């Protein structure tokens, strides 16, 4: 596996590449072009600039998260073909900059959803949390305002201001859209882009819905093993793969994450791993915690062992961390706890490797 760290760029991340390089076992960064509006072409030059900065700090830059998908593609509007063409050009440009994996999602309107960005834990650390009881009685606009007001001044992925300006219009457009309709539009998109991804050597990795349940009545189609089966069958290619996000899938206790990793890994479809732990209090009421198995509901050993068993050699990153040690930053994306998480994962991998007779 290659240990990676999500980085928001020199303009919008207080964490430096030098600090990331100082995390033991860190191989590279997962980046993106955050100033390019959704649907427009990503040029190659700024990607090469990120690559140069990474290499100057002993890091590689092979992985993107995310080239976001325009809502017209998800909605299946006539204009989608132009946005798909732009996406294809972006993939070709990314390949020229050495990119090998692109994470993306197909969630309508919002990406991930949380009801709290700084829930205090017993030790004074704060975490992201979701409570479906708190969604009741709120409008999408209320939720957006809560997110923006508690983001510590940082732009959060999936909650960009230009996207939120269109909330009312977008919800009107999605009226009547069910899972089958959204799934049909995903298949149309994949059949257009996967042949190009294969051609240029990029593996696509769709991210699970977060949380994997309908929010504000919007359809969700990447929730569980059955959904992944349907997506895998749309285009038979290792470039049509998955990001296995343990926190997203794990918020539904019915999802057997080690089994999912082994099943789709043996098909060559696990292209990216996001590893974090969560504590589920009741269905659709959960908060994030430190990575250690005993603290949350997910067995990190079994998850990492599953990745080891499929000989996973792709990117892994520690996902959302707690805010600890008085750090102030982008909620879920501080330095300290994610660095601890990376080393916990590396420690598990090393122990499994040694116990299997490798050195």
**Domain boundaries defined on the chain:** 2-355
Say what percent of the chain tops pLDDT 70.
95
What would the two tokens of residue 164 be? 């939120």
Whether pLDDT at 260 is above 90: yes
Mean pLDDT of the chain: 94
Lowest mean pLDDT segment, chosen from 31-40, 91-100, 108-117, 195-204:
108-117
Three-state DSSP class for 127?
Answer: strand
Cα angle at 358 between 355 and 359, to 5 degrees? Answer: 110
CB 185 within 8 A of CB 76: yes
Chain mean position to CA 324: 22
Please name the residue that has the structure tokens 């700084």.
Answer: 118
**If we measure between CA atoms, which residue out of 29, 36, 26, 37 comes closest to residue 13?**
29
Interval 33-38 mean pLDDT = 92
Interval 114-142 mean pLDDT = 89
pLDDT tens across 269-295, in order?
A: 999 999 999 999 999 999 999 999 999
Interval 82-91 mean pLDDT = 99
Lowest mean pLDDT segment, chosen from 142-156, 164-178, 222-236:
142-156
Q: Would you state the pLDDT for residue 167?
A: 82
Q: Model-level pTM greater than 0.75?
A: yes
Does the CA dihedral 314-293-291-343 come out positive or negative? negative
Label residue 149 by pLDDT band (50, 70, 90): confident
Label residue 64 by pLDDT band (50, 70, 90): very high
Whether pLDDT at 6 is above 70: yes
Three-state DSSP class for 126?
Answer: strand
pLDDT tens across 90-100, in order?
A: 999 999 999 99
Lowest mean pLDDT segment, chosen from 141-145, 172-176, 213-217, 261-265:
141-145
Please name the residue that has the structure tokens 């650390």.
Answer: 125
Q: Would you state the pLDDT for residue 294?
A: 94
Domain 2-355 has CATH 3.40.50.300: no
Residues annotated as catalytic (active site), given as ranges: 207, 245, 274, 319-320, 333
| Whole-number Å distance between alpha carbons of 303 and 358 | 19
Task: Give me the phi and psi of 40, to 5 degrees please.
Answer: -85, 160
| Whole-number Å distance between alpha carbons of 228 and 271 | 13
Helices then strands, counting H and E runs in the chain, come out as 14, 12
**If we measure between CA atoms, which residue out of 331, 293, 333, 294 comes closest to residue 130?**
331
Task: Give me the phi and psi of 101, to 5 degrees please.
Answer: -145, 135
Whether pLDDT at 335 is above 90: yes
pLDDT tens across 151-204, in order?
A: 766 666 666 666 667 788 888 999 999 999 999 999 999 999 999 999 999 999
Q: Calculate the CA dihedral of residues 95, 314, 242, 172 and round it to 10 degrees.
A: -60
| Whole-number Å distance between alpha carbons of 270 and 257 | 12
CB 205 within 8 A of CB 243: yes
Whether pLDDT at 9 is above 60: yes
Whether pLDDT at 40 is above 80: yes
92 CB-near residues (< 8 Å, 6+ apart) = 196, 200
The string over 279-317, giving b where at least 16 C-beta atoms fall within 10 Å of a residue's C-beta and e elsewhere, is bbeeebbbbbbbbebeebebbbebbbbbbbebebebbbb
List C-alpha distances in Å: 313 to 18, 32, 52, 187: 24, 21, 23, 27
């Amino acid at each position: 596996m290659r240990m990676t760290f999500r980085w928001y760029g020199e303009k919008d991340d207080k964490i430096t590449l030098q600090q990331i390089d100082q995390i033991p076992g860190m191989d590279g960064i997962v980046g993106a072009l955050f100033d390019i509006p959704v649907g427009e072409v990503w040029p190659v030059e700024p990607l090469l600039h990120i690559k140069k900065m990474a290499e100057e700090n002993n890091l590689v830059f092979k992985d993107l998260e995310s080239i976001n998908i325009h809502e017209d593609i998800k909605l299946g509007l006539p204009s989608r073909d132009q946005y798909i063409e732009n996406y294809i050009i972006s993939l070709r440009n990314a390949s020229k900059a050495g990119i090998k994996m692109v994470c993306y999602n197909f969630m309508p309107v919002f990406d991930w959803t949380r009801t709290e960005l700084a829930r205090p834990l017993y030790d004074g650390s704060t975490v992201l949390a979701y409570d479906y009881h708190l969604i009741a009685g709120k409008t999408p606009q209320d939720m957006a305002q809560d997110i923006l007001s508690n983001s510590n001044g940082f732009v959060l992925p999936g909650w960009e201001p230009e996207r939120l300006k269109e909330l009312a219009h977008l919800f009107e457009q999605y009226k009547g859209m069910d899972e089958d309709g959204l799934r049909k539009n995903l298949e149309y998109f994949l059949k257009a882009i996967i042949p190009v991804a294969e051609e240029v050597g990029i593996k696509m990795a769709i991210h699970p819905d977060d949380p994997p349940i309908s929010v504000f009545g919007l359809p969700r189609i990447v929730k569980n093993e059955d959904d992944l089966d349907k997506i895998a069958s749309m285009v038979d290619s290792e470039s049509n793969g998955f990001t296995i996000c343990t926190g997203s899938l794990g918020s539904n206790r019915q999802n057997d994450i080690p089994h999912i990793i082994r099943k789709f890994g043996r098909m060559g479809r696990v292209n990216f791993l996001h590893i974090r732990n969560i504590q589920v209090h009741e269905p659709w009421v959960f908060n994030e915690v430190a990575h250690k198995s005993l603290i949350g509901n997910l067995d990190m050993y079994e998850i990492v062992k599953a990745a080891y068993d499929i000989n996973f050699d792709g990117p892994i990153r520690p996902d959302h961390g707690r805010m600890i040690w008085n750090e102030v930053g982008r909620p879920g994306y501080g330095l300290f706890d994610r660095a601890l998480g990376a080393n916990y994962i590396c420690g598990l991998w090393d122990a499994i490797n040694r116990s299997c007779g490798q050195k």
